[in-house]
Amino acid sequence: MNDILNTPILEEKKKLTWHQQNPERAREIARAWRKANPDKMATYHLRQKEYFKEHPEKQREYSERQRRKNVWRTWAKNSIFFHSRRKELVVTITRDELEFMARATTNCFYCGCELLWSVGEGYRDRTPTLDRLHNEEILTKDNIVICCRQCNTTKTNRSYSEFVVYCEHIVNTHKSRLIAAAAKRPQAASAQPGGLPLQQMPAIGG
């Protein structure tokens, strides 16, 4: 019995704090406490602001640590800011809702590639991006998807149905070229000396 209780998995789990084992519940409790204690939170933020003003390097370290600690929340915050401020769109989805959506998304909605959830490593082809299915002027839970940067860039201002048709056109064009190339091969082979492909011609002097 003791051997079962001392397995590596259980030993590793013992090292985790309750907050690490129950992140969702921990956030709910913290959120409820902050809501019930606005005066204490105001005092805390004031002291934090004064401290970071005196120690700007600490603020940079803290910000970077928080960004890497929760890449999904950082991504949700930046995505909402970009679409509401830069693109001036109406945003009805909350940061918590978008974070929940991000946590549940591991693959691109369009091509299915595995997304690279990271912070501070720049934009890559598989970097997750937020896309409006039909390019409406509003962001809701029902009209957005998370896709890779490459697909989002290729889709541009097309609607979802237009993008699918565009992709089908590329596939059909490529198939047509392959079929045309395959049809030319027998003609090229018959044009060889003796009417046989080079690899089928008998060896000379054999």
Burial bucket for residue 46 (CB in 10 Å: 0-12, 13-18, 19+): exposed
> What is the Cα–Cα distance from 163 to 134, expressed in whole angstroms?
10
pLDDT digits (tens, 9 = 90+) for 122-135: 788 999 999 999 88
* Domain 71-180 of CATH type 3.30.40.220: yes
CA dist., res. 127 & res. 153, Å (int): 11
| 57-80 per-position pLDDT tens digit | 876 766 666 666 788 988 999 999
| pLDDT band, very low/low/confident/very high, at 193 (cuts 50, 70, 90) | low
Predicted pLDDT of residue 64: 67
The answer to whether the CB of 97 falls within 8 A of the CB of 90 is no
Residue 192 has pLDDT above 80, yes or no: no
Quote the percentage of the chain above a pLDDT of 90: 43
Domain residue ranges of the chain, discontinuous segments joined by +: 15-54, 71-180
Measured CA to CA, the distance from residue 80 to residue 144 in angstroms comes to 12
SS3 94: coil
Position 191 scores a pLDDT of: 55
Question: CB of 93 within 8 A of CB of 144?
Answer: yes
pLDDT in tens, 7-31: 554 455 556 788 778 878 888 898 8
Which token pair is 144?
A: 């957005």
Q: In the chain, where does DSSP find H-type helix?
A: 2-5, 8-15, 18-21, 23-36, 38-54, 56-69, 71-81, 95-103, 149-155, 160-190
> Is residue 196 over pLDDT 90?
no
Tokens of 24: 């969702």
Q: 151: which 2 tokens? A: 């697909």
Residue 25 is encoded by which pair of tokens?
Answer: 């519940």
Q: Which amino acid is at 199?
A: Q
Q: For the chain, first and last CA: distance in Å?
A: 78
